[in-house]
A and B are shown apart, each in its own frame.
Chain A
Amino acid sequence: MTSVAATAAQDLRQPFLSLAGIRKAYPGVVALSDFSMTVSPGEVIGLVGENGAGKSTLMKILGGVAAPDAGTITIDGVERSSLSVAESMKAGIAFVHQELNLFDNLDVAANIFIGREPRRGGFLNLVDNDRMHAMAAPLLQRLGAGFGPSTPLADLSLAQRQMVEIAKALSMNARLVILDEPTSSLPISETERLLETIEALRGEGIAVIFISHRLHEIQRAVGRVVVLRDGVLVGNLDRGEITHDRMVKLMIGRDLKAQIGTHEAKAGAVVLAAKGIRTEAYPHHELDISLRSGEILGLAGLVGAGRTELARVLFGIDAPLAGSITLNGAAVRLLSATQAIQRGVFLVPEDRKVAGVLLDLPIAENITLPNLGAHATGLLVSRRKEVVTAERERQRLSIRAPSVMTRTGSLSGGNQQKVVLAKWLAMSPKVMIFDEPTRGIDIGAKSEIYRLMRGLADNGVAVLMISSDMEEVIGVSDRIAVMHEGLISGTLDKKDFSQENILLLAVGRSIDPEATPMQGRME
């Protein structure tokens, strides 16, 4: 792994931006209090904290969207009590949000200069395409992008798209680029590329604020970490002081290891076995996988390895191109999610908002949706029975909401995910498949979800957890299967768990050159 970390040598250049004594309150909550920080040219600062710690409020203040109640913002020696959006842009503060504001149907140059296209043709007001492409090329070069200005955006990977956003920031003479959760949906190889881009920015003297839940990336990329908890600055770690445990302890005010817990699994019989499965993603590759009662099987691999496709097949959403599935020894055909659910095979899908919950429905209606028959008198839904079940699950999972009739969309990500879980826990699962169960969820809620997963396994449920988060896979699983291009490239027992081993298998190499390569069957 190439280290792209900022050099330890501290930059002695003067800070051009400083915040002092910033306070911002919303009804019922102080989002930021007495917050101070400085940003110097070429500095890469990590900003970490749980959801609700005040990161977004800070971003809003820097972006000129929210005005602080107290404190000062000093840019280039000019002191202000708040920023406007225009002032923020003029000061060279640029944001790259988690959800990119790009246009699939345009090329790279057009995306960079959208709304600011160079013109020609006088009153005809035509776009000067040649000039636009000529202007875009050097920006891309500065970032070391491997693509040109006329590449269609649709052809780019997510990390490359983020590069386009960053190029856009450069085109506006950014001095500070704020990356909000840029790696949360990036596969490992892409993450490397983004970290290299950050390094390129640093080299140009552009400051970067890097917000992420992925602490090992923070650890590698930044020269300084600012930790927020409940609106208060709880830590300011310099390069030498940054360790994973320290950041976590500061973020949550307690130890996470104790929360996941170390556990000796007592794996039982095979509950679900899939043989010779071929999916649309890799039609020529077959894989076998078996899930055992009482065990959490982690499924690691690069994004695009076919893990989600496998989950969809096991849950009956997609029909496999070939292969057979046995459940408790009996062959089954899962032709729809309905059939999978009837047999106790449940999926917590990757995209919560698209497939996990109905945001507009109350919590109770989401929980009972797959099992309305049990909450009905005849063909009519019984509100009373629904509320009883929902209330029970709300307490069991400690879903934080005013009532079970609260609109699910108004909950935090972690609590929405708990609603998805509650839906299945209410129905006695035999097999639970989790696809990226903690993506975009803060650390507190994460550990609760890990506990629930462990609880399920302890009750004899076979658990499959798909995750791209290395720490999670290593910390939570009893056994890890790694996928590569539609194949299981290897399975690791607890003693062999390591990031290196997983990465090697994920890129399709075997971990021990002498042993027979642990390739899946190939046609």
Chain B
Amino acid sequence: MTKKDLGLLILILVVGAVVAAINPRFLLPINLANTANLIGMFGISALGQAFVIMTGGIELSVGSVIALTGVLFVDLVANQNVPWPIALAIVLAMGVVIGLVHGLLITKLRLPPFVVTLCGLLIYRGLARFYTKDSTAGFGFGQKFPELEFITAGRSFGVPNSFIALIIIAVIMWVVLHRSIFGRHLYAVGKNEEAARYSGIRTGVVIIAAYVICQVLTVVSAIYFAMYTRSIAPSAHGNFYELYAIAAAVLGGFSLRGGEGSIIGALLGVVLLQELQNLVNLLGIPSSLNFAVMGTVILIGVIADQQLVRFRERRTNDRRQVAALPTAAGE
């Protein structure tokens, strides 16, 4: 855990303590479980986003992919009577294909990630609305899929299974990012693609893999979101979710230039964001201010972080100068 992660953790605890002091309902099991569920769902997509940001790219189509694969999954399971594991395999495959296409466009045609994924955002949203003819996709009354519902919306020992899924995925992704050869290559490509290429790293493959990982995790989170809401309005479902993921990664210490960040940081970023959402509800702040609160806190966080770095640099510089000029009279 880096100093930055530790600071974030302390911030989370302090904000939590303050909220709990003002409104004790914060600590009620039902509230904690609800928040954990949201952390689980948003966390899975944020981890995916983190891999893309690590390459210095960005994935803006997340929300639209959540809507498209969500309506598709629900339609396959609820209306087309496709067994859910097969439906799951189909949407996961879709995620792989979308990630591959984005990655190939970015590496082979050298298009900017922002443009590619912005177009993706528009295309997949449009397809989702077209597929459902702009009507809400949902489960019929009395339709039951016990295993699926347990895995997605159920709980084990009072802990939402979505949260447990996040933890399992986070552990795997931690090993991938921080211990595996691929993870090291990813860091290298994010830091300096040219030098990575001259060191024999297949930079294109690494970048494409990051987009595929992102989309696969996005699809996983899409299933959780679909089973959580159980009915999906294709024009609104998942709107802005890419921005939540990006915000969480930035809060967690990722650099949008790439090559910097950790899984723990991204997780803490997600937790803080959801804590803020919860705070808005619990403290009676009008929910219309939701985004404004989030934006303000992220801005303050980033400013504080920057100032802290500068302060530290100045302090070390001052120390050096004092050591260097013990007798220096005023200039």
Say whether B331 contacts A82, CB under 8 Å. yes
Q: Complex Cα distance A357/B196, Å?
A: 8
A358, B202: Cβ atoms under 8 Å? no
Tell me which residues from 179 to 202 in chain B have a Cβ below 8 Å from any Cβ of chain A. Answer: 179-185, 187-188, 191-192, 194-202
Smallest CB–CB gap between B192 and chain A, Å?
5
Q: Which residue of A lies closest to B197 (CB)?
A: A337
Separation of A372 and B196 alpha carbons in the complex (Å): 12
For the side of the interface on A, what is the size category?
35 or more
Chain B contacts for A358, CB-based, 8 A: 188, 191-192, 195-196
**Cβ-defined contact, B198 with A67, below 8 A:** no
Contact: B331 with A369, CB < 8 Å? no
The answer on a CB contact under 8 Å between A337 and B192 is no
Do A355 and B327 touch (CB < 8 A)? no
In the docked arrangement, what's the CA distance between A372 and B325, Å?
46
Known: A358-B188, A360-B191, A379-B180. A337 touches B199 (CB 8 A): yes
Determine whether B320 belongs to the interface, using a CB cutoff of 8 Å to chain A: yes
Do A25 and B184 form a contact, CB below 8 Å, given A341-B200, A354-B192, A355-B195? no
Contact call B198/A356, Cβ cutoff below 8 A: yes
A-B contact count (CB 8 A): 84
Q: Which residues of B contact A372 (CB under 8 A)?
A: 181, 184-185
Q: A336-B202, A337-B198, A354-B195 known; A369 and B184 CB under 8 Å? A: yes
Q: Give residues 372-406 of A contacting B (CB, 8 Å).
A: 372-373, 376, 379-381
* B184 CB, nearest partner CB in chain A, Å: 6
Residues 299-322 of B contacting A (Cβ, < 8 Å): 320
Kindly name the residue among A336, A365, A366, A423 whose own CB sees the greatest number of chain B CB atoms within 10 A: A336
Q: Which residue of B lies closest to A349 (CB)?
A: B198
Does the CB pair A381–B184 fall under 8 Å? yes
B198 cross-chain contacts in A, Cβ below 8 A = 315, 317, 337, 347, 349, 355-356
Provide the residues of chain B in CB contact with A379, threshold 8 Å: 180-182
Known A-B contacts A337-B199, A356-B195, A358-B196; the reply to A381 vs B325 at CB < 8 A is no
Does A381 contact B202, Cβ atoms closer than 8 Å?
A: no
Chain B residues with CB under 8 Å of A56's CB are none
Given contacts A336-B202, A376-B181, contact A25 B324 (CB under 8 A): yes
- Against B, the Cβ 8 Å flags (1 = close, 0 = not) of A320-352 are 000000000000000011101110000101000
Mark out the residues of chain A between 397 and 440 whose CB falls within 8 Å of any chain B CB in the assembled complex: 423
Q: Is the CB of A370 within 8 A of B331?
A: no
CB distance from B178 to the nearest CB of A (A): 9
Question: How near does chain B come to A80, taking the closest CB pair, in angstroms?
Answer: 11
In the complex, chain B residues whose CB is within 8 Å of the CB of A341: 199-200
CB neighbours (8 Å) of B200 from chain A are 336-338, 340-342, 369-370
CB interface residues, B 152-201, toward A, < 8 Å: 175, 179-185, 187-188, 191-192, 194-201
- CB of B181 within 8 A of CB of A355, answer no
- With both chains docked as a complex, state the minimum distance between the C-beta of B182 and any C-beta of chain A, in angstroms: 7
Q: How far is the CA of A381 from the CA of B179 in the complex (A)?
A: 6
Cα–Cα distance between A13 and B208 once the two chains are bound (Å): 68
A382: nearest residue on chain B (CB-CB)? B179
Contact check, A27 vs B184: say whether CB atoms are below 8 A apart.
Answer: no
| Contacting residues, chain B, for A373 (C-beta < 8 A) | 181
Q: Kindly state the separation between the CA atoms of A494 and B259 in the bound complex, as whole angstroms.
A: 47
Chain A nearest CB: distance from B181 CB in Å? Answer: 4
Which residues of the other chain, A, contact B202 by a CB distance below 8 angstroms? 336, 338
Docked Cα-Cα span, A468 to B202, in Å, equals 31
Q: Would B192 and A369 count as touching, CB distance under 8 A?
A: no
Q: A380 with B197: in contact, given A67-B331, A69-B325, A82-B331 (CB under 8 Å)?
A: no
Q: Which residue in chain A gives the minimum CB-CB distance to B329?
A: A81
For residue A265, CB closer than 8 A to chain B, the reply is no
Contacts of A360 in B (CB 8 A): 191-192, 259
Determine whether the beta carbon of B184 is less than 8 Å from that of A423. Answer: no
The chain B residue with its CB closest to the CB of A341 is B200
Q: How far is the CA of A25 from the CA of B322 in the complex (A)?
A: 12
The reply to whether the CB of B292 lies closer than 8 angstroms to some CB of chain A is: no
Please report the C-alpha to C-alpha distance between residue A356 and residue B325 in the assembled complex, in whole angstroms.
37
A347 to B194, CA, bound (A): 13
Pairwise interchain contact A69-B328, C-beta atoms closer than 8 A: yes
- Contact between B323 and A67, CB atoms less than 8 A apart: no
Mark interface residues in A205-244 (1 if CB within 8 Å of B CB, else 0). 0000000000000000000000000000000000000000
Contacting pair A380 B327 (CB below 8 A): no
Residues from chain A with a CB closer than 8 A to the CB of B183 are 381
A26 located at the interface, meaning its Cβ lies under 8 Å from any Cβ of chain B in the complex? yes
Contact of A361 with B by CB under 8 A: yes
Chain A nearest Cβ from B205, distance in angstroms: 9
Extra contacts besides A69-B328, A365-B184, A372-B185 (14): CB < 8 Å: A27-B320, A67-B331, A354-B192, A354-B195, A355-B195, A356-B195, A358-B196, A369-B200, A370-B201, A373-B181, A379-B180, A380-B181, A381-B180, A381-B184
Q: Can you offer 9 A-B residue contacts whose CB atoms are under 8 A?
A: A27-B323, A67-B328, A84-B331, A337-B197, A354-B194, A358-B191, A360-B191, A360-B192, A369-B201
By a beta-carbon cutoff of 8 Å, the part of chain B in contact with chain A is: 175, 179-185, 187-188, 191-192, 194-202, 259, 320, 323-325, 327-328, 331
Q: A residues touching B (Cβ–Cβ < 8 Å)?
A: 25-27, 67, 69, 82, 84, 315, 317, 336-338, 340-342, 347, 349, 354-361, 365-366, 369-370, 372-373, 376, 379-381, 423
